[in-house]
A = this chain, B = another copy of it.
């Protein structure tokens, strides 16, 4: 069984999976687009585009300048396919990159990697907090009200994973109070976001419609390449790649 998405939270818990059936996902299909999106997200938030966009709508010319982006700190939560893509984008922009992941494994692109237990100590120093974790019972509500409140008022949040990883009501409240500088959310709950959701016009919030990581021309080709690679491995009796862990749920 193969999921054409990377996130398999919609299938959890995996107690329905028949014994002996391998379940693989599409991780690896999203890195290129995710990296491009993250370059955009970091630079848009740093350039104060949420405010500038609002000013354009209000026909207001206000010269909002921004300093050099180099040297700011990106805290990347989750270092899978999307997290590594975010780390690559951040390094290319000259950011200091701190990663948080479940295992102690290092990252090719992050300057430092910490376990989740360190998250509360790291949040107050971040200029950007990037959510790139799978949605599991462990990560649901991870960026909660209290953690959001511990961030700098000049900091910004980017979510390219799953909406329930963060408390969006608390995030919108912080944005309204100016306790956070901005956010770019590529995922919401539910999708499509209903027209009457208060998120649409939260200040300094940019909503992108779950498009951050999917190649609009080649997604099917990329997915089939990953699937056929595994089919070849199956015939060669090699271990399959991108298997979803029943224990971790991703």
Residues of A within 8 A of B (CB): 32-33, 36-37, 39-40, 43-44, 46-47, 49, 52-53, 55-57, 59-70, 92-93, 191-193, 195-197, 200-201, 206-211, 214-219
Contacts and interface: CB of A to CB of B under 8 A. Distances in A.
Contacts of A219: 65
The 10 closest A-B pairs by CB, nearest first: A65-B216, A61-B192, A40-B43, A67-B217, A59-B195, A59-B200, A63-B209, A66-B216, A67-B216, A56-B207
A215 B44 contact: no
A43 B53 contact: no
A210 B63 contact: yes
Count copies of this chain in the complex. 2
B33 A43 contact: no
Contacts of A68: 32-33, 36, 215, 217-218
Nearest to A37: B47
Contacts of A63: 209-211
11 contacts: A37-B43, A40-B44, A40-B49, A43-B43, A52-B209, A56-B206, A59-B193, A65-B211, A65-B215, A67-B218, A68-B217
B218 A61 contact: no
A47 B53 contact: no
Contact of A40 (B40, B65, B209): B40
Given A47-B208, A62-B209, A65-B215, 17 more contacts: A36-B43, A36-B46, A40-B40, A40-B44, A40-B49, A49-B208, A52-B208, A53-B206, A56-B200, A57-B57, A61-B192, A61-B209, A63-B209, A65-B219, A67-B217, A68-B215, A92-B92
